[in-house]
Amino acid sequence: MTKFSDLSLNPKVLKAVEEAGYETPTPIQAGAIPPALEGRDVLGIAQTGTGKTAGFTLPMLSLLARGRARARMPRSLVLCPTRELAAQVAENFDTYSKYLKLTKALLIGGVSFKEQEQIIDKGVDVLIATPGRLLDHFERGKLILSDVKVMVVDEADRMLDMGFIPDIERIFGLTPFTRQTLFFSATMAPEIERITNTFLSSPERIEVARQATASETIEQGVAMFKPSRRDRADSEKRKLLRALIDAEGEKLTNAIIFCNRKTDVDIVAKSLKKYGYDAAPIHGDLDQSQRTRTLDGFRAGDLRILVASDVAARGLDVPSVSHVFNFDVPGHPEDYVHRIGRTGRAGRDGKAITLCNPRDEKALSAVENLIQKEIPKLDNPLGNAAPEPEADAATEDAPKKPRRSRSRRKSDESQEAQETAPQKTEDAKSEPTADAKSESKSQDEGEKPSRGRSGSSGKKQDNKDKSGPVGMGDHLPSFIAKSFDERMVS
């Protein structure tokens, strides 16, 4: 079995790895580190939680051990899709570079530009950034990428989902053609394949697992439910979620609950807190400081349940997550793999439960087709009956209006119509209609009833009895009525 000591890493890097308690590399690390140390491009494909971060961190540190960075000209660049993943990569560099005199900078949103510029001005060996903030610094003239020797793209498929591919292509164009590129992704969509063919030079391809597969240590299940009414679907779904959490009992030490929308993240977290659960939200609209505090509390065990959007589905290295709940079936099947990959990490057991209502069955089928496995159906802990909606003080205090069924309203309307019909008939007999009055009046005045267009005088013009041109009526100009010869003479 291969050990880290067999991978020709820098002795100072190897010492830091051993002190961190690691002896045996994961398959992606054992496959990626040797060609990376040789200076070759690497294309790594592996499911989340397999150690991809160390797979590029360790060889980068060994390659950068010699040399010195110049102001505003980083020697290496690591691109990450989210702030959380970028911060985690920075922590890995701190852990493994403790015996090396290397500097790093973290460029992410939510942090002052001025503080980041001060670090860049001193010169950094490792620049870790999200694409948007990196380009912001470049456009301000505070960053030069012409000295980048090693470039890493982490979670490339997530970059694709978030719309960063044009930015990635632009950043590739700003770096030297001779750079070394380490490209990592969990899946290989056609667009990702195109980028690797364009910007990587004869890469060493390491694929340690079939694309888009979930870890075998994760027990998966789906809870099917049908809401009693459309307007109660969300509240009944939240009650089912609480019942599933309670059913796990002490086996659930901590959990991440994923929602498709940021608004649902806030609503679900607030609902759980209302019913006494230790929960907090995290999504892209929150301040960076709040997101950091929430994640730190979850990692430290001070927070039991983290309710998250897909911003937290990638790169959150919390080894001891016991459960993952998909409050919504993800719209993209690949996201399912990344979500449930937050549990069952590093060989541990984990459990992933998905809530599915009838309108999500199509998305669930797409997930099962991707992972090539049918997800077992779980018993509904609330039984076959639809769960009752959450109590709402505002609606309980309001007086309820009496409701009439559609058939009752119909019968009331028909009865009312029958009661008023005789009265209308008698009125019709006693009083002539407006049309009848008009016709009678016309006949009394010696006029025929109007059946065609009326002239400007408001009376029917009989075109057959008129000698003038048809359509001009009484307003025929005198010069038109003259013959051609008369007009020529005049």
Query: Tokens 């960075």 identify what position?
Result: 69
- The architecture that CATH gives domain 4-207 is 3-Layer(aba) Sandwich (3.40)
Beta-sheet strand order (sheet of 104-107): 104-107, 126-129, 76-79, 150-153, 180-185, 42-45, 204-207
**Global pTM exceeds 0.75:** no
Would you state the pLDDT for residue 286? 82
Highest mean pLDDT among 211-220, 312-321, 476-485: 211-220
Q: What is the largest CA-CA distance in the chain?
A: 121
Taking residues 402-419, what's their average pLDDT?
51
Which of 70-84, 145-159, 254-268, 428-442 is the least confident region?
428-442
Query: Tokens 């029917």 identify what position?
Result: 460
Would you state the pLDDT for residue 198? 93
Dist. CA 145–CA 478, nearest whole Å: 88
Rounding to the nearest 10 degrees, give the CA dihedral for residues 128, 131, 137, 138. 110
Of 268, 240, 238, 232, give the one whose Cα is nearest residue 381. 240
**Total count of residues recorded for the chain:** 490
Residue type, 410: K
pLDDT band at 210 (very low <50, low <70, confident <90, very high): low
* Top-confidence residue, 258 or 314: 258
Taking residues 463-470, what's their average pLDDT?
50
User: Does residue 61 sit in helix, strand or coil?
Assistant: helix
* Top-confidence residue, 285 or 269: 269
pLDDT band at 488 (very low <50, low <70, confident <90, very high): low
Q: Tell the CATH topology of 218-387.
A: Rossmann fold (3.40.50)
Q: Quick one: what percent of the chain has pLDDT higher than 90? A: 48
Would you state the pLDDT for residue 96? 95
pLDDT band at 463 (very low <50, low <70, confident <90, very high): very low
Q: Tens digits of per-residue pLDDT, 165-205? A: 999 999 999 999 999 999 998 778 888 999 999 999 999 99
The pairs formed by 66-69 with CB atoms below 8 angstroms and a separation of 24 or more are: 67/125, 68/123, 69/103, 69/123, 69/124, 69/125, 69/147
Question: What rounded mean pLDDT belongs to the chain?
Answer: 81
Of 144, 90, 97, give the one whose Cα is nearest residue 117. 144
Give burial (CB, 10 Å; 0-12/13-18/19+) of 368: middle
pLDDT above 80: residue 55: yes
pLDDT band at 306 (very low <50, low <70, confident <90, very high): very high
pLDDT band at 303 (very low <50, low <70, confident <90, very high): very high
Range list for CATH 3.40.50.300 in the chain? 4-207, 218-387
Q: Tens digits of per-residue pLDDT, 145-168? A: 999 999 999 988 888 878 899 999
Would you state the pLDDT for residue 248? 93
Would you state the pLDDT for residue 484? 54
Taking residues 206-228, what's their average pLDDT?
82
Dist. CA 217–CA 226, nearest whole Å: 30
pLDDT band at 211 (very low <50, low <70, confident <90, very high): low
Which of 205-209, 264-268, 301-305 is the least confident region?
205-209
Would you state the pLDDT for residue 1? 60
pLDDT above 90: residue 444: no
Taking residues 14-36, what's their average pLDDT?
92
Would you state the pLDDT for residue 457? 44
Would you state the pLDDT for residue 487? 53
Residues 168/131, Cβ–Cβ less than 8 Å = yes
Q: Which two tokens stand for residue 131?
A: 């694409």
Q: Which two tokens stand for residue 443?
A: 């006949």
pLDDT above 70: residue 395: no
pLDDT above 50: residue 65: yes
Residues 399/257, Cβ–Cβ less than 8 Å = no
Would you state the pLDDT for residue 195? 93
Q: Tens digits of per-residue pLDDT, 350-365? A: 999 999 999 999 999 9
pLDDT band at 441 (very low <50, low <70, confident <90, very high): very low
Query: 137: Cβ–Cβ under 8 A, 6 or more apart, which residues?
Result: 107, 113, 116, 117, 120, 143
Give burial (CB, 10 Å; 0-12/13-18/19+) of 392: exposed
Residue 36: Cβ within 10 Å count: 26
pLDDT band at 38 (very low <50, low <70, confident <90, very high): very high
